Amino acid sequence: MGSFARRAWLCELASHFRVQYAWVLAASAVWWAMNAHLPGALLAASFALANLSCILPLYLPRPLESNAGSRRTFRALLANVQFSNRSYDAVRRFIDKVNPELVLLEEIDEVWLAALEGLAATHPYAKIMKHRGGFGIALFSRLPYESLDVERFGNVPIPSLVGRFLLDGQRVTIIGTHPWSPISPAYTRLRNQHLEGLAAFAAEQPVPLIVLGDLNTTSWSPVFQDLLRIGKLRDSRAGFGVQPTWPVGVPLLRIPIDHCLVSTGVTVHRRWIGPSVGSDHAPLVVDFSINAR
């Protein structure tokens, strides 16, 4: 089904669970082999390898760009806090522990903003967009920005934030975004429309670009591949592995839907997933630098 992801909504949903398929098929191959059923073992092993071929490239090391050395490193934190989550202290403790220059929070609401009011003391440069339905979004920065605007990609009425910063003497655009969840054919079309608009916007940017957000898709979906190709972006997970983030409460079904995408000119030095902070999403932390021109 996942191989026919472009043709149907349910097939696209099936494309996200490559890791789970690989484990189940590998176990099936072993079971068939132990029961001396060679055709079944070979069939299961071949499909397991097909899924592994989609996963293994994420573990291959990516060489740094030649002009990436000796640059200042910055840290960004992405957290979909889940608007119904009330573990405010856990989120704040993790922010304090990680100590990032940039904090992007998604699914924030009035209650969350009140609980994290003290964040403005350490990250005074901020933009907050309240929105119903769990689509509130906020960017807090320790570094001043040149501009921090609201953008709606693909004419979808969900706000995204576009910040333009001067980092280490280089101009860079940082986007925080959160498309609709593909829980129905209609919402899937809206998510795809949002990501198409994001890709077109990213392709037009003349400076290095970073995209942070719960994109409600994985790298095995053709929609995600279109975003990378059209937007001239790359997945920051390359060399760091799968790093699944959702759903936290069901580890065996966890998939990577929280992303950091970067353009040419951005080097990712470290990327990791944080612990549970009460949300159904695990937080994502990325250390990056802007390459010298």
Q: Are strands 74-80 and 234-235 parallel, antiparallel or unpaired?
A: unpaired
- Quote the pLDDT of residue 71: 80
280 and 142 fall within a common domain = yes
pLDDT, tens digit (0-9, with 9 covering 90-100), for 40-93: 999 999 999 999 999 999 999 876 665 555 689 999 999 999 999 999 999 999
Task: Please check whether residue 242 is in contact with residue 220, taking contact to mean a CB–CB distance below 8 angstroms.
Answer: no
- Quote the pLDDT of residue 86: 93
Spell out the residues 6+ positions from residue 198 whose beta carbon is closer than 8 angstroms to its own.
153, 154, 160, 175, 177, 179, 211, 227, 231
277 and 174 fall within a common domain = yes
Number of domains comprising the chain = 2
275 and 145 fall within a common domain = yes
23 and 160 fall within a common domain = no
137 and 205 fall within a common domain = yes
pLDDT, tens digit (0-9, with 9 covering 90-100), for 183-209: 999 999 999 999 999 999 999 999 999
206 and 82 fall within a common domain = yes
234 and 120 fall within a common domain = yes
Is 261 a residue whose pLDDT tops 60? yes
Is 257 a residue whose pLDDT tops 70? yes
CA quadruple 12, 18, 24, 26: dihedral sign: positive
What is the arithmetic mean of pLDDT over 19-42?
A: 94
Domain-embedded: residue 121: yes
- Quote the pLDDT of residue 292: 76
16 and 81 fall within a common domain = no
- Quote the pLDDT of residue 62: 75
SS3 content of the chain, % helix, strand, coil (to 5): 35, 25, 40
136 and 205 fall within a common domain = yes
* Domain range for 42: 2-59
